[in-house]
Amino acid sequence: MRDILRLAVGAIPNDEARAAAALAWALAAGAMLGPRAECVEVRDGVLWLRAKDADAQAAINSISADLCRSLNRSLPNSIQRIAFLP
C-alpha cells in the first residue's frame, strides 16, 4: 500500500497530491492523533497542519521526528518538519 501511495503521489496534480498527503498523515498519525489535526499542504519539505487545539499541537510536536520518518516512507517528497497554521 505504501509503495502504491508513493508512486501515485509523484504523478498527480496539486489537489490530489494534497489528498495523498492527508492520507499519508492519517496513516502516520494513527486513529488517535490523526483526526486531531487537518493536513493543509506539503511545501518545501514542510507538512503544514491545522491542529484542533493546543493539546493536539503539543502531542504532535512531541513525536514530530517519528511522524516525519513515517511520512517519508509514504510520500516521495522528503518531509523535514511539521509546522502549524492558526
pLDDT digits (tens, 9 = 90+) for 43-86: 889 999 999 999 999 999 999 999 999 999 888 768 999 999 99
Residue 60 contacts residue 37 (beta carbons within 8 Å): yes
pLDDT value for 6: 45
CATH code: domain of residue 74:
3.30.300
Going from the C-alpha of 6 to that of each of 29, 49, 53, 64, 70, the distances in angstroms are 17, 20, 30, 20, 12
Q: 24: domain range?
A: 2-84
If you average pLDDT over residues 5-18, what whole number do you get?
56
pLDDT value for 75: 83
Judge if pTM exceeds 0.85: no
Mean pLDDT of the chain: 85
pLDDT per residue over 19-46, tens digit each? 888 899 999 999 999 999 999 988 889 9
Tally of structural domains, the chain: 1
**11 alpha carbon, distance to own chain's centre:** 18
Hey, CA dihedral for 24, 27, 29, 35, is it positive or negative?
A: positive
